[in-house]
Amino acid sequence: MKTYLTLALSLLMLGMVGCTTVSETGRRQLLLTSPAEESQQGLAAFADIKQSEKVSTDAKANTQVQRVGTRIRDSVIKSHAMPDAQWEFVVFDSDQVNAFALPGGKVGVYTGLLKLVSSDDELAIVMGHEIAHVTSRHGGERASQATLANTAGQLGQAALGATQYSDTTKNLILSAYGVGAQGTLLAYSRTHESEADTIGMKFAAEAGYDPRAAVTFWKKMAAQSGGGQTSGISAMIAKWTSTHPPDAERIANLEKLAPKYQAVYEQAKLQYK
């Protein structure tokens, strides 16, 4: 009982002290890490990645990423996000159709992605999205959720330990809890993706890049991955078990979102002519 009460109190305190708000969307989030801790981890991770991944020497690719990245960076700075960032944009030579951003202002773009994007606008959408994950501190939030879920798991084990269930029954209950916890965490991850879509589009538009490029880019990504082909119960299961919104849903949301930032883009692009 003492262990049960201790874990229950810990769980309550974690939930109470770690709540904050994503400034751009107003969404409440749980954060048990500090920006300094996240930045330190991001800087260390990026240094390791540069040692393990092949850095591209392609002049055209590097020029494009630096050009777009610098403008997105300026948009982020205007939003008073990541004030202490040590910005760096690196192109990695790989067929991966991917990009990433880490706390501390470190951004990586793979040459495979550059082969897919057809304009600076599309690249800005992707880079804005990845950087938005960082400005919204999604990594820290995920780590905090994992900590809370782990504490909840210990709480569940302590509670079951005091019952007369057989070991088999206890394991089945804990397995059921694990599925529930995973579903919750995955749902948060889909929330992060949608939030990064919104904030990333804002960053791109403020940097003078067309927000409508989000739709054209994700349509190409959906076609490449064969997305949007499931329906009915299969689609429901796929949505629940995926960490990203279904392609069709994501594209529909982006189509609704783009007009909101069209005027911002039209105004911002004038300074880059």
| Number of neighbours of residue 113 by Cβ within 10 angstroms | 25
Q: Which two tokens stand for residue 128?
A: 């804005």
> Please, what sign has the CA dihedral across residues 250, 256, 261, 262?
positive
Q: Which two tokens stand for residue 61?
A: 């690719």
| Burial class, 158, CB count within 10 angstroms (exposed 0-12 / middle 13-18 / buried 19+) | middle
Q: Which of 38, 130, 141, 206 is catalytic?
A: 130
Is 130 known to be catalytic? yes
**For the residues of the chain, what is the DSSP string, one character each?**
-HHHHHHHHHHHHHHHHTEEE-TTT--EEE--S-HHHHHHHHHHHHHHHHHHSPBP--HHHHHHHHHHHHHHHHHHHHTT-STT---EEEEE-SS---EEEETTTEEEEEHHHHHH--SHHHHHHHHHHHHHHHHTTHHHHHHHHHHHHHHHHHHHHHHHHTS---HHHHHHHHHHHHHHHHHHHHHHHHHHHHHHHHHHHHHHHHTT--TTHHHHHHHHHHHHHT-S---HHHHHHHHHH-SS--HHHHHHHHHHHGGGGHHHHHHHGGGG-
130, 196 Cβ separation under 8 angstroms: yes
Give catalytic residue positions: 130
